[in-house]
Structure 1
Amino acid sequence: MRPRTVDLNCDLGEGYGAYRSGDDAALIAIVSSANIACGYHAGDAHTMRASVAACVERGVAIGAHPGLPDRLGFGRREMQVTAQEVEDFVLHQAGALQAFARAAGSRVAHVKPHGALYHMASRREELAEAVVRAAKALDERIAIVGPGGSALLRAAEAHGLRAIAEGFADRAYLADGSLAPRSMPGAVLDDPERARKQALDMLERGCVATADGAVAAVKAQTICVHGDTPGAATFAAALRRGLEDAGYAIGAR
């Protein structure tokens, strides 16, 4: 019997200039999909080029990870933006990454918004539409990654794009299925065994135990780890081993 396949993705490429964030080379050797920062919340042209080259060498799917123009807040603070502004932000960033991907003989396979933009586009239909319009203008074969059942994935499906439901192995959830805010104690999970169990619960049961003692419905086709968390590469490697031990092969969607 062939093993089941699950995509393991990571947000990375978030260093810029003289600043480094996470061990991108080690992470790209572990995951099957990379969400590469495109210069607004983090990242720069040189980091994008290096990240794309590493993905091509390793056979890792390249994803654009566009954020809000807020380096100071690492793109994790909501901003008052219009749908047109969001569409322009996403096309600008994903288009830049697509240029590096094409120069390396590859392509951007998916778009996954970063941070506050991810959550805003998951809730607000007009922003979801803006993200999807920009992605589709870039490449009609592109996929959209976001929370299962979100406005973002509904918009992707309505526009004929592949919609990939994402779950987080390294973040705690609330009873409504949303991520626990980072300000809450325990919001970031650092125990690989707990992360493995949470990932398997999402994959096999479609639910997770939450930070507030409930059970939330969370279905996932791809599992995310964050590259900026201390020890992310070691954590991701342990998670991958745990998924493989449970009978899963790791591969891009």
Structure 2
Amino acid sequence: MSSPSLPRIEINIDCAESFGHWSCGPSDELLMPMIDVANVACGGHAGDPVIMRRTIAAAKKHGIKVGAHPGFPDKVGFGRRLLVMTPEQAYAEVLYQVGALKVFLDEAGLPLNHIKPHGMWYILMQTDEAFNDATMRAIKHFNVPLYGLPNTLHQTGAAKHGIPFIPEAFVDLNYSNAGHLLGVAQSNPMTPEYIYGVTKKLGTTGVLPSVTGEELDIGVKGGPFSVCIHSDFEKCVENLKAARRAVDEVNAELYTGR
């Protein structure tokens, strides 16, 4: 199965990451006008049925594509801690979480756009072949693209299972010098001005700085890709505005008319 290509660089953001009476970050309604794609938490690391349903309604109102954002079922750790799972458990957990979201999408008359695992699940998939394979087998069931990191097991695992692959880049987290995405705790603090500059350079050259400042080619050179911004970060709105400005400038320069 050939992978789809994006017409221009887009911005995706993680949404629905509150639950019950606990709120995380700015409201999804506030963020929707500034994004292209929403990754909706499915009740594992965050989210609950009411919040999933409300977020999908907001996305429909603003014409935003919706993908599933499954993660380790660990709300206390926000899916950023490693839980030990067998491949069978990992496979079933993805089916369970994405299936729950898809019911609400069906109700709203919206398609499932993609699947993008969250946090430590996403990071582990870069290097753990058995965990990656179990996740890919579950994703394959839904016949939608995977948003993932090029030049890692994300891309090769998707190819192995015939899953369309959308390359993704992060500008509010760091990469190691080897090109692996690092977690929040291992990344440097970033200002909106820094995010604007990194996004602009990445869009035009395909290169960004590693955690130690070395230039990295992360595999998005020469074509559009998806940029992720985290909604739970303290300066999320400012970060998103900075990335939006850079993406719009690059698209106007390189991808007008596509």
Q: TM-score, normalised by structure 2?
A: 0.88
Corresponding residue for 1:88?
92
* Paired residues for 1:184-203 under 5 Å: 184=186, 187-189=188-190, 191-203=191-203
Point out where structure 1 has 5 or more consecutive residues left out of the alignment.
none
Alignment of structure 1 residues 74-153 onto 2, 5 Å = 74-137=78-141, 139-140=142-143, 142-153=144-155
Runs of 4+ in 1 over 4 A off after TM superposition: none
Deviations 1:126-183 (A, max 9, x none): 222222211221x22x010111122122121222221111111111222111234433
Higher strand share: 1
Query: What CA distance in whole angstroms lies between the structure 2 residues aligned with 1:150 and 1:210?
Result: 16
Structure 1 vs Structure 2 CA RMSD: 1.8
Q: After TM superposition, give the deviation of residue 112 of structure 1 in Å.
A: 0.5
User: Secondary structure of the equivalent of 2:39?
Assistant: strand
**Superposed displacement of residue 39, structure 1:** 0.4
Q: Which amino acid aligns with 1:43?
A: G
Task: Give the corresponding residue for 1:57.
Answer: 61
Q: Which residue of 2 aligns with 1:13?
A: 16
**Secondary structure, aligned partner of 1:73:** coil
Q: Deviations over 1:188-208 (max 9, x none)?
A: 42x223212222333332221
Equivalents in 2 of 1:208, 1:231: separation in Å?
21
**1:235 aligned onto 2:239:** yes
Aligned residues: 243
Q: In the alignment, what sits opposite 1:207?
A: 207
1:54 CA displacement = 0.9
Please give the TM-score of this superposition, normalised by the length of structure 1: 0.89
Q: Distance in 2 between matches of 1:112 and 1:97?
A: 13
Q: Which amino acid aligns with 1:169?
A: V
Q: Distance in 2 between matches of 1:193 and 1:68?
A: 32
Equivalent residue of 1:110, what SS?
coil
* CA deviation string 1:101-140 (max 9, x = no partner): 1100012111111111001112122222222211221x22
Alpha-carbon distance change, 122 to 76 in structure 1, aligned in 2, over 3 angstroms: same
Identity percentage of aligned residues: 31
Find the counterpart in structure 2 of residue 158 from structure 1.
Answer: 160
